[in-house]
Amino acid sequence: MDFWGTVRVLRRRWYIALPAVLLTGVLALSVYITVPTRYESSGVLVLTSPAAGGRYSEKTKPEDVVRVNPLLQFDGSLTTTAQILTQVLGDPKTAEELAGEGSTAVYTANTGPVGGPLLFVTTEADSAETAEGLVGKVLEKTVAELAAQQKALSAPEQTFITAQVLVKPTTASAKIGGKVRYVGAATVVLLLLTLASTFAADSILLKVKRRKDGKDRDAKDLAPSEKDTTPAPVPPVRPNPQTNGNGVAPQRPMPQGLPNAHQKTVIIAAPKPDPAWPTKDD
């Protein structure tokens, strides 16, 4: 069915389509209200090397140690350490420990598009306070896990990589994109159901109407009409023809000049000779 055919059906069955559309709006609004609003917060850590470098000797005096700027020592080792920390934070047990058992709050930790010594933490929760608090927990867990990993490797404390909070937990912002997607999906599904129900009702009502019209037509054909109830007209009585006394009606004289049935002559054309037969000329 084309577009205008659909419009005609909706116009003909407006008393079905209009309540369905209103119901669709109410259900879409209820979906928007019932789906909780998610809040998002984020924070950033940066890993730095110690000022004395990655080597330490007990025989060297502290004043003789060569010190450098930690911000000038970003190398591949810091990137590797950041990737190790993302793997630790991605452990389901660690996530359950930080977010809490049964909580809907989630977080992600990655090195971002640059892939350097930066660690980006993003959280989502049903409330702004929960989202911001979870960012703080993840950052603290990352700093503690970095120190624990280096102690487990028996690294000298003077060579420990440190983690600095570069961006504190940001103010949580509401994310309504998920709610809008849910509402859009629910609206599309409900509108399709509205069209389907309208067309189904139209088909059923048309069948019922045709069946009713057929029964009325049959009943009208079976019922006696006014013509059938009207008495048939009585044919007029013709007067008896006059007889000549013997009980035989006198014959009417035939008009002169007109032949009767016995006087009519039928003229039949003679058949032409078959050219296959020989003639006198042959």
Give the helix/strand (H/E) hosting 217.
helix 177-222
The pLDDT assigned to 31 comes to 80
Helix (H, G, I), strand (E, B) or coil at 59: coil
> What CA dihedral angle connects 253, 258, 261 and 264, to 10 degrees?
150
Report CA 77 to chain centroid distance, whole Å: 50
The pLDDT assigned to 45 comes to 92
Give the helix/strand (H/E) hosting 47.
strand 38-48
Buried b (16+ CB within 10 A) or exposed e, 224-255: eeeeeeeeeeeeeeeeeeeeeeeeeeeeeeee
User: Is the CA virtual torsion 72, 77, 81, 82 positive or negative?
Assistant: positive
Residues of the chain with pLDDT under 50: 282
The pLDDT assigned to 130 comes to 92
The pLDDT assigned to 206 comes to 85
Closest by alpha carbon to 120, among 146, 148, 162, 85? Answer: 85
Domains and CATH numbers, the chain: 39-56+66-177 (3.30.70.1130)
